[in-house]
């Protein structure tokens, strides 16, 4: 029993260390966004200055708009495609099931750089001008696998008795879909869409390869700012983005609770 205690302690120690490891950089970043200093080292007093500078920066504003446009449109497209595909894959005897599953799972583990390079060359080969449209295409491509898998996993635990009941009562297939099945699928669809949205605003590498000059998203802007060394506002920007993420997590929880009860 004594060795068991030691293992438990060891587990707890590693767990605590991992938690510290996961949160230390983020906490430091947040603290330093209020630091009244041009460079990151040393505490020079509290300020909101960089948050104000942030809102005056036109480049950040356009980058933010671009990020939102891409995130919203690619989330919509990948969710619609994902719902259809998940419904298709629901049929266990579908003759294309194995092939479709492979086509959906493989992009998940491919390194971003391979997807980025391959799309960059495709657009060059087709002589397509890179910009908003190419970034949109790229984002839908990497979000699609996630939306299909999330929606499909919800369909797998589906309660068919309600659909059967509706059929027994003589409801038309379309009516069954919209009145019974779709509402039951909705939590899965929302979870998939939110995942796609966060993946889209998070992406750097694939966007880097598929966006032309003059179409910066926030991660692209941040990388450029880090490279140029104009990083003070980045702390403030990062803190806001972390806040936004937390907000999304809370909203997801709330929506799920609302839909499930």
* 133 touching other proteins, by CB under 8 A: no
Q: Shortest distance, CB of residue 141 to other proteins, whole angstroms? A: 4
Closest CB to other proteins among residues 166, 207 = 207
Torsion region of 128: left, alpha or beta (phi above 0 gives left; psi -120 to 50 gives alpha): beta
> And the tokens for 175?
């009516």
Q: Which range, of 50-58, 153-161, 179-187, 244-252, touches other proteins by CB under 8 A?
A: 244-252
Enumerate long-range contacts of 23-31, CB under 8 Å, 24 or more apart: 26/242, 29/235, 29/238, 29/239, 29/242, 30/239, 30/242
Q: Which of residues 20-49 bind other proteins (CB under 8 A)?
A: 21-26, 28-29, 32, 39-42
58 exposed, middle or buried (CB, 10 Å; 0-12, 13-18, 19+)?
Answer: exposed
Q: Which of residues 182-241 bind other proteins (CB under 8 A)?
A: 198, 201-205, 208-209, 218-219, 222-223, 226, 231, 234-235, 238, 241
Q: Shortest distance, CB of residue 189 to other proteins, whole angstroms? A: 15
Identify the bridge partners of residue 254 per DSSP, sorted by sequence position. Answer: none
Q: Which of residues 139-158 bind other proteins (CB under 8 A)?
A: 140-141, 144, 148
User: What angle, rounded to 10 degrees, do the helices at 112-125 and 132-156 form?
Assistant: 130
Which of 20, 52, 72, 114 is close enough to bind other proteins by CB under 8 A?
114
Q: Which range, of 53-61, 105-113, 161-169, 177-185, touches other proteins by CB under 8 A?
A: 105-113
* 68 touching other proteins, by CB under 8 A: no
Q: Shortest distance, CB of residue 103 to other proteins, whole angstroms? A: 5
Give how far the C-alpha of residue 99 lies from the chain's centroid of Cα atoms, to the nearest Å: 25
* 131 touching other proteins, by CB under 8 A: no
* 93 touching other proteins, by CB under 8 A: yes
Give how far the C-alpha of residue 197 lies from the chain's centroid of Cα atoms, to the nearest Å: 4
* 15 touching other proteins, by CB under 8 A: yes
Q: Shortest distance, CB of residue 247 to other proteins, whole angstroms? A: 11
Contact (CB, 8 A) for 206 and 123:
no
Closest CB to other proteins among residues 140, 166 = 140
Which of 172, 249, 251, 257 is close enough to bind other proteins by CB under 8 A?
249
Closest Cα to residue 217, out of 12, 72, 63, 15? Answer: 63
Which of 37, 59, 124, 153 is close enough to bind other proteins by CB under 8 A?
124
**Spatial CB neighbours of 185, under 8 Å, sequence gap ≥ 6:** 83, 151, 154, 155
* 103 touching other proteins, by CB under 8 A: yes
* 129 touching other proteins, by CB under 8 A: no
Closest CB to other proteins among residues 25, 170 = 25
* 18 touching other proteins, by CB under 8 A: yes
Distance CA 186, CA 96 (A): 25
Element (H, E) at 93: none
């Amino acid at each position: 029993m004594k060795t068991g205690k030691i293992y438990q302690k060891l587990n707890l120690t590693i767990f605590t260390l991992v938690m510290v490891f996961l949160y230390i950089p983020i906490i430091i970043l947040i603290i330093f966004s209020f630091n009244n200093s041009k460079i990151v080292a040393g505490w020079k007093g509290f300020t909101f200055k960089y948050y104000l500078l942030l809102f005056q920066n036109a480049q950040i504003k356009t980058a933010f708009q671009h990020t939102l446009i891409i995130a919203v449109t690619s989330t919509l497209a990948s969710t619609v495609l994902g719902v259809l595909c998940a419904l298709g894959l629901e049929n266990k005897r579908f003759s294309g099931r194995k092939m479709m599953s492979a086509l959906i799972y493989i992009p998940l583990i491919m390194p971003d750089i391979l997807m980025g390079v391959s799309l960059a060359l495709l657009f060059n080969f087709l002589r397509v001008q890179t910009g908003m449209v190419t970034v949109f295409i790229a984002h839908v491509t990497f979000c699609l696998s996630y939306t299909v898998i999330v929606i499909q996993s919800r369909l797998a635990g589906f309660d068919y008795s309600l659909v059967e009941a509706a059929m027994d009562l003589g409801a038309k297939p379309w009516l069954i879909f919209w009145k019974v099945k779709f509402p039951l699928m909705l939590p899965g669809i929302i979870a998939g869409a939110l995942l796609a949205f966060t993946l889209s605003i998070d992406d750097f590498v694939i966007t880097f390869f598929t966006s032309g000059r003059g179409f910066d998203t926030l991660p692209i802007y941040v990388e450029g700012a880090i490279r140029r060394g104009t990083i003070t506002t980045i702390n403030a920007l990062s803190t806001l983005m972390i806040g936004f993420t937390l907000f999304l997590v809370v909203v997801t929880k709330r929506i799920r609770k609302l839909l499930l009860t």
